[in-house]
Amino acid sequence: MKTAAHLLWLLPAAIGLSGCSNSEQEDLQRWMVEQRAQVKPSITPIAEPKRFTPQAYTEASSFEPFNKLKLTQALRRESNQQGSSDLIAPELARRKEALEAFPLDSMAMVGTMNRNGQPVALLKVDKLLYKVRVGEYLGLNYGRITRINESEVALREIVQDAAGEWIERAASLQLQESAK
């Protein structure tokens, strides 16, 4: 019986509360309509596209594709590239040596010695010590040792320039007093 009495009291309370919620929603809806009416978006207009003005074709300023001077320059460049490929061809045909797997900046010259009257340089690479002689190869750019003295190992590398042609360049490894 007590539960029935409680239910009878809860029914009017629930009806009263539901009435309150509708009025709150109506107030909220009215406020939102007022706010939308008050706020005006500010949109800047898009600028009109620029007008395209075509240029007249004039023969005097145009590029002539069959100009003899340009053609001879292109042929000269092509013949130089064939000569530069002669520079790299023997390097591609030979077997690579062990020290050609490392870049020059990862190598350190730590000393020199003479073996049978020939200079030998001691290079430290990846915590290992290597002996190299004139004529051997090292580095990633087909570097061939041309001279060894007490303070440096001089070598000749073959690299591509900005135009894609193979050229020779000089490089060297200096003696490192405290190579670890």
In sequence order, the 6+-apart residues with CB closer than 8 A to the CB of 115 are 131
Given a contact cutoff of 8 angstroms between Cβ atoms, the answer to whether 166 and 85 are in contact is yes
Say how many Å lie between the first and final Cα of the chain, rounded: 96
Distance (Å) of CA 88 to CA 25, 50, 104, 146, 177:
84, 54, 19, 17, 35
Give dist(CA 141, CA 130) in Å, integer. Answer: 19
Domains and CATH numbers, the chain: 97-174 (2.30.30.830)
Average pLDDT of adjacent 10-residue blocks, the chain of 180 residues: 61 60 80 88 87 79 70 68 69 90 93 92 93 94 94 92 82 80
Distance between CA atoms of 121 and 175, rounded to whole angstroms?
A: 10
Q: Tell me, what's the pLDDT at 41?
A: 80
Cβ pair 155, 142 in contact under 8 A: no
Q: What does the pLDDT read at residue 86?
A: 74
pLDDT for the residue 8: 63
By the 8 A CB rule, do 139 and 155 touch? yes
Among residues 176, 156, 155, 172, the alpha carbon closest in space to that of 112 is found at: 176
Q: Enter the tokens of residue 5.
A: 């009495």
CA pair distance 126, 142, nearest whole angstrom: 20
- CB environment 10-29: b (16+ within 10 A), e (fewer): eeeeeeeeeeeeeeeeeeee
pLDDT value at residue 134: 95
pLDDT at 17: 58
